[in-house]
Amino acid sequence: EPIKLVVIVGSLRKASINRKLATALERMLPDGIQASRAGIGELPLYNQEYDADFPAPATAFKAAIEAADALLFVTPEYNHSIPGVLKNAIDFASRPAGRSSFGGKLAAIAGASPGRTASALSQQHLRNVLAAMGVLTMPTPEALVQFSEGLIDDEGRINDERTRTALQKFIDSYVQWLQVQLRR
Ligand code: FNR
């Protein structure tokens, strides 16, 4: 049985550097990990009235989380926190009350930004939110990518040796941590 990993990108734009980072990380996964993406772009804005009648994209997003053994969030930093679209998706999957899709899930967080702090503050905020959802996140190593033009291409190829080594270490550590947590 492969470990089912669901990757969630916290940016909706096509040219997203975090989408490129997600692709690069997926390429580094060893055999035995089955990765897929869960999209958040089709979700409406969460409104508590939806708890009585979930929209189809939200039901699909919840199902994707529930089917996963583990999650990988790859998120931008917006104003020192996570983008609203990512928080919106997490809020949907946490509902209806008592039927959160997150309980007991395992996760790792990665992120890229052109700034020197490379999404560190956004990642810390996300850790807080996930802790409230009962999601256990790998504490270290962190994947903080300061993105410069061309660092990662659309196919996920990394054009810098140090970045490649650090990200491979992040992925290897995550897989090892998952195997311990899942006893596999
Ligand atoms: C940003 N950006 C940004 N960067 C950062 O390092 N710290 C920050 O607080 C912010 N704040 C912020 C707010 C908003 C509304 C936008 C649109 C952007 C810059 C951001 O890191 C950059 O646009 C990335 O390219 C966004 O990630 P994606 O969409 O390329 O994955």
Cis ω on the peptide bond leading into residue 83 (within 30° of 0)? Answer: no
Considering only CA atoms, which residue is closest to atom 17 of ligand 1? 78
CATH class of 3-182: alpha beta
Instruction: Identify which of 104, 170, 101, 100 has the alpha carbon closest to the alpha carbon of residue 139.
Output: 170
pLDDT digits (tens, 9 = 90+) for 19-71: 999 999 999 999 999 999 999 999 999 999 999 999 999 999 999 999 999 99
Tokens of 169: 């270490």
Quote the ligand 1 centre to 176 CA distance (angstroms).
Answer: 31
User: Which amino acid, one-letter code, is at 13?
Assistant: R
Q: What average pLDDT does the chain have?
A: 97
Pocket of ligand 1 from Cβ distances under 6 Å: 11, 13, 16-18, 76-80, 113-115, 117
